[in-house]
Amino acid sequence: MGLSTVTMIYAGMFYIAALVMAIGLVYKIVDYSRTPVPLKIPTTPAPTTRSGVIFRMAKEVVVFESLFKANKWIWIFGWLFHFGLLLVLLRHLRYFTEPVWFWVDIIQPFGKYASFMMVIGMLGLLARRFLVDRVRYISTPSDYLMLVLLIAIGVTGMLMTFVVHTDIVALKMFFLGLMYFDVQPLPQDLTLLIHLAMVAFLMLIFPISKLLHAPGLFFSPTRNQVDNPREKRHAQAGWAKQVNQTK
Amino acid sequence: MAAPVFDVPEIKNEIEIPKLREGVMAHAKTFPATKPVQDFMGYPHELPEDWKERAIDKMGDLLGKYRSLKVFLDACVHCGACTDKCHYYLGTSDPKNMPVARQDLMRQVYRRYFTTAGKLFPKLVGAKDLTQDILGDWYNYYHQCSECRRCSVYCPYGIDTAEITMAGREILNHVGMGQKYSNEILGKVQKIGNNLGLPGPALEDTLEGLEEDIEADTGVAVKMPLDVKGAEVLLITPSADFFSEPHVESLIGYAKVFHAAGISWTLSTHASEAGNFGLFNGNYETMRKVAMRIRDSAIELGVKRIVVGECGHAWRVAYSFWNTLTGIGYGGDDPFSIEFQKQLDPNYPQPQHICELTNDLIKSGKIKVDPSLNDDLVVTYHDSCNVARASRMGTEPGGQFTIPRELIKSVVNNFHDMADGTIGEATFCCGGGGGILTDDLLEVRVKGALPRATALNNVVKEHKVNFMAMICAICKAQFTKVLPKYGFDMSMVGGVHQLVSKAIKLDKAE
């Protein structure tokens, strides 16, 4: 029995998307880490120890501390979106693991309903782009399209979770097959095909889009530097190292 | 050239977020640097034929040298958190003064020439070819940014617009679009030793005059030593302290503190300037050259401690960068820094802020003060941006807020802070920092001071505040000029050591 054309196209699409995303992200991360940081520029007050910096970064990543200080609306919508997305993504691990990890099972019911958090958050962010004159001014077409793409991914996913179920067992076989380089047939529901195509597209553009804010945060010198310039000489940055030792 | 006419904004009860008014500050152009000024700095003085290649090359060069620039240009998601945080936006309502929009002036070009998405789909991601119009926007709006970092506090990725403004000005310099004010000052500090261009003999005269004034006033012979070899402390202070009002009152304050504590100290002709405008223009080599004057003077004079006077951006450069640039500090393990560390007294932080020094002396009882001598004053404190968000004092994070306040409260009895959200890490810039303290940008300066003026007005109404203390030469010069436009008396503005100077008890038995 041969595989359908659609299955072959989607298999190829996911291999390419995963490869582009992985290579693109590795390239970006290597590029960031190789670019020197010649000066101490933490936004102060800043932690004076490495462990303090880890705590500061953790607060930024988990509760969006700076955004909380800035604007409660963006914060609540942004946090609903990101935390919902996290639960949804973790729930999706069940389609890539056999047997399913126990904690993924625990998350499953939360992950299903987290999709509402995610979509509500994004609708709020989209509304701000139209309603707040300052945000409208800075929005580019890609800013709208990115939200629309993510909302569409969320909505098609919710449709399959709550309304028109797909053959989830066959879908899992397809993805496990991809992982073991043994391609299996993909269920051919329209909703699923749309959902998957958009996910693959999102993976494809990840390393060339503003989604780079995810790795970017970890490389942000204003957040990840220790405030100790009087105690420790910061003079190791590539090109500046030589400069800093000449009289 | 006549100063442009403009309306001074009206102070409201609260700081309000204005509706956008596009292009309202597009006319505010700072004076361009002339040929001799640019020549000295090694920059062209007019747009060269190959300006576009030069600008893009320079951008590529900076992207390879500064991780901050690269990450900040990539990471922004246009969330809008920063849009209402800049005092210039709040004061002018020009959308290009929103931090993200200011960054986007460069980001649009970065995307076009350095990113896949911008090369393939420029319209979609807001990427644009570099044009002379865009350079013009850079020139206007990178000189309506005081590099105060308020936006970076609120950005979820810590994007600091100051880094982008600095890069923008550096690129502009490389295509012959330098700013007269900053580049002239960078010439003076390197040729003469200070930003005001005050030569050694004039400085000596000024200091002698001040010594006579203090003695006439107090009956005590407080000295202002210059170029004294073997002194314990080298004081590096902004040159405005030597003859601008109210700056000089703080200089008198420092001198009285050293006198009362019995610490031998000296000023230096060669390093008669704490300010370092190299910071503002984003040129590392210039900033280092200017900073090296301090190390050179310290070695020549053989001092054991380096103390920095009241100057905001100077304290940023001193605290955050001197160790890196010049080895003034601890922890270096290369011969260049070890050589200098051996000269320093390890019992003190190096460099030390004058507020750290004075506060320690008062707390340990080594100098005596009488706060009732300031009872005519009701005082508030303006946190200067570079001190607040780019440096520290003491050993704990936030010492840059607590130490100056502790010090003020030990020398005055009436103190009231301005509202939360306008002080500490959220402090509003005076409106004149970052290389725009020039009369050709007076409109920008006046409008940019609106948030601070509003917060000040509220404590004036509520607590009858009649003195705003600060520790920055630029803040002092800016406020004495612009606060009168809002109806405040310029005598409300002064240094923390102006208060110390009034309250300190000098030993008359000599």
Contacts of B104 in chain A (CB under 8 A): 138
Distance CA A214, CA B370 (A): 55
Neighboring chain B residues of A138 at a CB cutoff of 8 Å: 78, 80, 83, 95, 98, 100-101, 104
> B149 to chain A: which residues are within 8 Å by CB?
43
Tell me how close the Cα of A156 comes to any Cα of chain B, in angstroms.
Answer: 24
pLDDT at residue B5 is higher than 90: no
Q: Is the pLDDT confidence value at A244 over 90?
A: no
Specify the pLDDT at position B198.
86
Q: What is the DSSP string of A181-240?
A: T---PPP--HHHHHHHHHHHHHHHHGGGSGGGHHHHHHT-HHHH--S-TTTS-----HHH
CA distance linking residue B91 with residue B446, whole number of Å? 8
Q: CA of B349: which chain A residue's CA is closest?
A: A230
What span, in angstroms and rounded, lies between the C-alpha atoms of A199 and B131? 37
Judged by DSSP in three states, B241 sits in: helix
Quote the minimal CA–CA distance from B74 to chain A in Å: 6
The alpha carbon of residue B508 is apart from the nearest alpha carbon of chain A, in Å, by: 37
State the distance between the two ends of chain B, measured CA to CA, in whole angstroms. Answer: 54
Span B459-468, pLDDT tens digits:
999 999 999 9
**What mean pLDDT comes out for the span B121-134?**
96
Secondary structure class of B353 (helix, strand, coil): strand
Q: Which of B111, B133, B114 is nearest to B122 (CA)?
A: B111
pLDDT class of A243 with cuts at 50, 70, 90: confident
Cβ-based contacts under 8 A for chains A and B: 242
Judged by DSSP in three states, B80 sits in coil
* Nearest CA among B173, B195, B175 for reference residue B185: B195
Residue B507: the pLDDT is 75
Which of A2-6, A237-241, B336-340, B432-436 bottoms out in mean pLDDT, i.e. has the lowest? Answer: A237-241
Residue B333: closest C-alpha in chain A: A233
A173-225: pLDDT as tens digits: 999 999 999 999 999 999 999 999 999 999 999 999 999 999 999 999 999 99
Q: Predicted confidence band at B510 (pLDDT cuts at 50, 70, 90)?
A: very low
* Residue A241's pLDDT band (cuts 50, 70, 90): confident
| pLDDT value for A90 | 97
Average pLDDT, chain B: 96
pLDDT for the residue B4: 65
**Distance between CA atoms of residues B383 and B147, nearest Å:** 15
Residue B413 above 70 pLDDT?
yes
Query: Residues of chain B with pLDDT > 90: what percent?
Result: 95
Q: How many CB atoms lie within 10 A of CB A179?
A: 11
- Residue A103 tokens read as 């904690």
Residue B352 is classified by DSSP as: E
Torsion over CA: B470, B473, B475, B480 (sign): positive
ipTM of the complex: 0.96
B170 band by pLDDT with thresholds 50, 70 and 90: very high
Give dist(CA B297, CA B293) in Å, integer.
Answer: 6
Complete DSSP assignment for A85-100: HHHHHHHHGGGT-SSP
Across the strands, what pairs with B379? B415, B467
pTM above 0.90, yes or no: yes
Contact criterion met (CB below 8 Å) for A189 and A164:
yes
pLDDT value, residue B341:
92
Would you say domain A5-228 falls under CATH 1.10.940.10?
Answer: no
Residue A232 has pLDDT above 80, yes or no: yes
pLDDT for B407 = 98
Contact flag A212-B398 (C-beta cutoff 8 Å)? no
Give B-chain residues touching A212 at CB under 8 angstroms: 74-75
On chain B, the residues whose CB falls within 8 A of the CB of A46 are: 392, 397
B508 pLDDT exceeds 70? no
Percent of chain B past pLDDT 70, that is, above it, reads 99
Write out pLDDT tens, residues A40-88.
999 999 999 999 999 999 999 999 999 999 999 999 999 999 999 999 9
Give residue B329's pLDDT band: very low, low, confident or very high (50, 70, 90): very high
Contact: B155, A243; criterion CB under 8 Å: no
Return the exposure string of B118-138: e unless at least 16 CB atoms fall within 10 Å of the residue's CB, then b: beeebeebbbbebeeebbebb
Mean per-residue pLDDT, A134-140 = 97
- Inter-residue contact B76 to B157 (CB < 8 Å): yes
pLDDT at B434 > cutoff 90? yes
Ordered structural domains, chain B, with CATH: 35-178 (1.10.1060), 188-503 (no CATH)
pLDDT band at A158 (very low <50, low <70, confident <90, very high): very high
> Dihedral sign, CA of A213, A216, A222, A225?
positive
The pLDDT, as a whole number, for residue A1 is: 53
Q: Does pLDDT of B509 surpass 50?
A: no
Checking if the pLDDT of B132 tops 80, the result is: yes
Cβ within 8 Å, pair A142-B124: yes
pLDDT digits (tens, 9 = 90+) for B21-77: 999 999 999 999 999 999 999 999 999 999 999 999 999 999 999 999 999 999 999
Q: Is B413 helix (H, G, I), strand (E, B) or coil?
A: coil
Q: What are residue B462's phi and psi, to 5 degrees?
A: -80, -40
Give CA separation, A24 vs A17, A36, A38, A209, A218, in Å: 10, 20, 25, 11, 17
Q: Per residue in B178-224, pLDDT tens? A: 999 999 999 999 998 888 888 989 999 999 999 999 999 999 999 99
Question: Could you read off the pLDDT of A87-118 as tens digits, one per residue?
Answer: 999 999 999 999 999 999 999 999 999 999 99
What average pLDDT does the segment B433-446 reach? 97
Task: Report the DSSP beta bridge partners of residue B415.
Answer: B379
